[in-house]
Amino acid sequence: MNRTDVIQEFDPWNDPLCTCPKKYGLNPYTGCEHGCLYCYITSYIPRAFECRPKRNLIARAEHDLKLIDRSRVISIANSSDPYPPMEEKLKLTRSCLELLARENCKVQVITKSDLVARDLDLLSNMLCVVSFTVTTLNSELSRRLEPNAPLPAQRLKAMKRLADAGIPVTLRLDPVIPHLNDDEVVEVVRAASSHGASHVTSSTFKPRRDSWRRIQKAFPEVATKLWPLYFKLGQRHHNSWYLPSKVRQRLMDEVRRACEEEDLTFAPCREGLARIGTGINCDGSHLFSG
């Protein structure tokens, strides 16, 4: 049986906590320059904070499109931002979008970059949903937490541009970190709503060894408060540590209530919490039209 190369099954590990519908992932780049302290890719991608374009990507993607279930969504991207600084010149993600638009594929774009607005002409004429990750409205905190990513205000501005053009946009409020950004969740949801988002996906911080060390180094006082929550009272799932279920429930309930106030749909991501979402696709893919 032929195997795909660059368009691969999303969640090949079959994590029982993953509630996403069956879909594919496509990462135009290997590694990500944003350098977010909480990022999980450093646990499985060598030189994860060094962004490298994939060679012969379009030819490889064309090959894969002949093998996949074309009714499924293709998510760009899950292990690297599809809009790193070099994308402005290389236009590798744009080339992927051109290909997928020609093939009438359903596409989800996940990004922290305002550069996505450059491709508004393509996105407005294809089946797509664009998800913006915003973890804080505080520029100073964002610079410490997501040192090389565009500032939150830039992301929100791009979100509004896309929403005004009729493109479905969602907010990824992910991760929520107690004692660091959990006091902002209502404000972030309201900001996203006022900039055109119609759905929110949220998740709590689930540290692995490497991401925990980065948070501990950058925010030692916060880490001191978090340590017993994760490593004494929490639990381990696969390679990640989870907050106690009551703490996760409380944080996600707060996000849910904020979404209800703004008339947004909501779903948690990989939390294993019952009766908390609004019964739709957690990733926002229910927003596809056409």
pLDDT tens sequence across 137-160: 999 999 999 999 999 999 999 999
Peptide bond preceding 48 in cis form (omega within 30 of 0): no
pTM of the model: 0.94
Q: Which amino acid is located at 165 in the chain?
A: A
Q: Which amino acid is located at 169 in the chain?
A: V
Query: Is the distance from CB of 65 to CB of 7 less than 8 angstroms?
Result: yes
- For residues 78 and 87, give the distance between their C-alpha atoms in angstroms, rounded to a whole number: 16
pLDDT (average), residues 61-86: 95
User: Dihedral through CA 141, CA 142, CA 146, CA 148, nearest 10?
Assistant: -120
* Confidence (pLDDT) at 1: 44
- For 200, half-sphere exposure in the C-beta direction (CA atoms, 13 angstrom radius) is 35
- Band the pLDDT of 290: cuts 50, 70, 90: very low
* Confidence (pLDDT) at 287: 87
Tell the residue number behind the tokens 């927003």, with chain if given. Answer: 287
DSSP character at residue 239:
T
Name the maximum alpha-carbon separation found in the chain: 53
Q: Minimal CA–CA distance to 248: which of 219, 265, 215, 270? A: 270
- Band the pLDDT of 21: cuts 50, 70, 90: confident
Q: Give domain 7-287's CATH architecture.
A: Alpha-Beta Horseshoe (3.80)
Per-residue CA distances from 213 to 15, 65, 73, 224 (Å): 24, 39, 34, 12
- For residues 142 and 149, give the distance between their C-alpha atoms in angstroms, rounded to a whole number: 8
- Tens-place pLDDT, residues 218-269: 999 999 999 999 999 999 998 899 999 999 999 999 999 999 999 999 999 8
Tell the residue number behind the tokens 């051109």, with chain if given. Answer: 98
DSSP character at residue 49:
T
Mind spelling out the 3-state secondary structure of 242-263? Answer: ECCHHHHHHHHHHHHHHHHHCC
Taking 70 as the threshold, does the pLDDT of residue 2 lie above it?
Answer: no
Q: In this structure, are strands 169-176 and 128-133 parallel, antiparallel, or unpaired?
A: parallel
Taking 80 as the threshold, does the pLDDT of residue 19 lie above it?
Answer: no
179: exposed, middle or buried (Cβ count in 10 Å: 0-12, 13-18, 19+) = middle
Paired with 30 in beta bridges are 52
Q: Minimal CA–CA distance to 26: which of 80, 101, 102? A: 80
- For residues 58 and 97, give the distance between their C-alpha atoms in angstroms, rounded to a whole number: 10
Query: Is the distance from CB of 107 to CB of 76 less than 8 angstroms?
Result: yes
